[in-house]
């Protein structure tokens, strides 16, 4: 390792340990040269390396400053927030955000609001390369910028698909807000059970053969609320059955580009995009903008585009120009990759804590369900428990959780379980909250 690389590594460690804080001025070149007994040229090279890694930035006639801190929840000694999957806006590096927003405004200063309903072309081209790295091979002409997955789900549920089928098939449990939407419109819905092992492909085949299913809505990885990920065999099986029976797949991969699952290929890959609509969101890493993407196969684009044009008058799906420009700045500057890496490191640390603490729990009483990757995990109770009383007891200890009844279309299928989210809890708070959670559980079932 060269001397300037070693010096850059030492400074990077100080940044990670928060010896230096966001926006703080770093020591001068002269000071560091004296401190580490090296030349000024070595310090300059070290600082330039850190600039290239988007950890610091140079301010003319002033010096070098810390660009941003990791995307982490802030510690709280009062409230253990385990109920929501939406990170706080303040958890995002403000300096990074300002940097990308400034780039976005400068880049698009000559643009107007007269945009294609697909979104900014340069961003779609950028995303085509971005998705390629995830095993999603598509062209910019198939990418549509959207405000979020929820809005697109409501839109897709209401339109006629090319197969002219009527039923919507969903996993049970699944995303609670989508269940509420389906019930509000009284749409024809079928369900298939999903547990920690996945779904039964034989049952899926029977449903596809028996009913005229328009589409199957699935969250293959980092499932909400289970936190699990389908194994490769199930993803391949879903793709094969859908193509055989002319059923569309709506693949909700909302956390896909933040996931640390290795050698993962989406259902979209196995279907080569045919009969598959891929949805994702960028709001988990950049929570101050609402933006996502939908990938629509060319066979469905004419129908989709026509409905998009009609819906423009009562439901605007496109994210704002500044949101699109900001996302493009994040990706092109590699700051998005930095955010994702920091988020993955944070979650890896949290799951190490969870595994260590929960291994001492009585697994005949309680089960932890998760793929140990995304924000969510489900706690299933294997003994009778009064969930109302348990939730009240947790609240008294300032622990907030989300119950899973709302994630079942048929409440009779609900098995006693709750969802925990890591989006807003600091690792130090997690160490305190989990033992409190388990002791409260034991106290509640003993009453």
Domains and their CATH numbers in the chain? 3-66 (1.10.10.10), 80-86+343-445 (3.90.1150.10), 96-332 (3.40.640.10)
**What would the pLDDT profile of 43-86 be if each residue is shown by its tens digit?**
999 998 888 777 787 877 788 888 755 555 655 557 899 999 98
The SS3 assignment for 64 reads: strand
Distance CA 105, CA 81 (A): 35
CB atoms closer than 10 angstroms to residue 191: 18
> Strand 80-81 to strand 276-281: parallel, antiparallel, or no bridges (unpaired)?
unpaired
The SS3 assignment for 165 reads: coil
**Is residue 288 within 8 Å of 89, Cβ to Cβ?**
yes
Tell me the Cα Rg of the chain. 24
The predicted model gives 297-301 an average pLDDT of 88
- Quick one: which of 339, 342, 352 has its CA closest to 430? 352
273 phi, psi to nearest 5 deg: 85, -20
The predicted model gives 308-329 an average pLDDT of 79
58 phi, psi to nearest 5 deg: -100, 140
> For residue 90, what are the contacts with CB-CB under 8 A and spacing of at least 6?
74
Cis, peptide link before residue 406, omega less than 30° from 0: no
419 phi, psi to nearest 5 deg: -110, 135
pLDDT above 70 (res 119): yes
Helices and strands: H and E segment counts in the chain = 15, 15
Rounded to a whole number of angstroms, the distance between the first and last alpha carbons of the chain is 62
**What would the pLDDT profile of 243-295 be if each residue is shown by its tens digit?**
999 999 999 999 988 887 778 999 999 999 999 999 999 988 888 888 999 99
**What would the pLDDT profile of 357-409 be if each residue is shown by its tens digit?**
999 999 999 999 999 989 999 999 999 999 999 999 999 999 999 999 999 99
Work out the burial of residue 244: count CB atoms within 10 Å of its CB; fewer than 13 is exposed, 13-18 middle, 19 or more buried. Answer: exposed
Cα atoms in the Cβ-side hemisphere of radius 13 Å centred on 302: 2
Supply 393's token pair: 């007891």
pLDDT number for residue 117? 79
The SS3 assignment for 56 reads: strand
Distance CA 260, CA 351 (A): 12
Q: How many residues does the chain have?
A: 447
DSSP 284: T
**Is residue 279 within 8 Å of 149, Cβ to Cβ?**
yes
Supply 132's token pair: 């390629």
Mean of the per-residue pLDDT values of the chain: 89
Distance CA 165, CA 324 (A): 34
| Cα dihedral 13→18→22→23 (10° resolution) | -80
Whether pTM exceeds 0.75 = yes
* Residue listed under structure tokens 């729990």: 361
> How far, rounded to the nearest angstrom, does the alpha carbon of residue 356 sit from its chain's CA centroid?
24
């Amino acid at each position: 390792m060269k001397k300037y690389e070693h010096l850059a590594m030492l400074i990077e460690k100080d940044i990670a340990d928060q010896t230096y804080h966001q926006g703080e001025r770093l020591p001068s070149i002269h000071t560091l040269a004296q401190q580490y007994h090296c030349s000024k040229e070595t310090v300059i090279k070290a600082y330039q390396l850190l600039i290239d890694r988007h950890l610091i930035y140079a301010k003319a006639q002033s010096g070098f400053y810390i660009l941003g801190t990791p995307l982490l929840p802030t510690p709280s000694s009062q409230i253990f927030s385990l109920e929501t999957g939406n990170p706080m806006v303040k958890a995002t590096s403000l300096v990074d955000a300002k940097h990308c927003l400034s780039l976005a405004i400068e880049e698009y200063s000559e643009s107007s609001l007269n945009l294609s309903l697909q979104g900014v072309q340069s961003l779609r081209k950028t995303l085509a390369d971005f998705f390629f790295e995830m095993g999603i091979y598509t062209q910019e002409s198939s990418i549509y910028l959207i405000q979020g997955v929820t809005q697109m789900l409501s839109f897709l549920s209401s339109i006629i698909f090319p197969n002219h089928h009527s039923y919507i098939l969903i996993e049970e449990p699944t995303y609670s807000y989508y269940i509420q939407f389906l019930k509000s419109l009284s749409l024809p819905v079928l369900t298939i059970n999903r547990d920690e092992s996945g779904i039964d492909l034989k049952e899926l085949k029977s449903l596809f053969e028996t009913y005229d299913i328009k589409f199957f809505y699935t969250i293959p990885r980092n499932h909400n609320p289970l936190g699990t990920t389908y194994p490769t065999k199930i993803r391949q099986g879903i793709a094969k059955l859908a193509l055989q029976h002319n059923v569309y797949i709506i693949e909700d991969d909302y956390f896909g580009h933040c996931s640390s699952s290795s050698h993962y290929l989406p259902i979209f890959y196995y279907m080569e995009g045919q009969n598959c609509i891929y949805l994702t969101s960028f709001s988990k890493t950049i929570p101050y903008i609402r933006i996502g993407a939908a990938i629509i196969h060319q066979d469905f684009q004419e129908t989709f585009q026509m409905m998009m044009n009609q819906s423009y008058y009562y439901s605007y799906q496109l994210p704002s120009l500044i949101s699109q420009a900001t996302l493009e700045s994040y990706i092109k500057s590699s700051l998005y990759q930095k955010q994702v890496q920091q988020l993955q490191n944070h979650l890896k640390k949290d799951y190490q804590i969870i595994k260590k603490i929960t291994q001492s729990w009585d697994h005949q009483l309680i089960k932890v369900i998760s793929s140990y990757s995304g924000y969510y995990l489900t706690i299933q109770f294997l003994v009778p428990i009064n969930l109302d009383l348990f939730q009240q007891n947790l609240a008294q200890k300032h622990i907030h959780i989300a119950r899973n009844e709302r994630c079942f279309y048929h409440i009779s299928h609900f098995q006693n379980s709750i969802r925990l989210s890591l989006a807003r809890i600091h690792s130090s708070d997690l160490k305190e909250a989990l033992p409190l959670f388990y002791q409260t559980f034991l106290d509640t079932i003993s009453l």
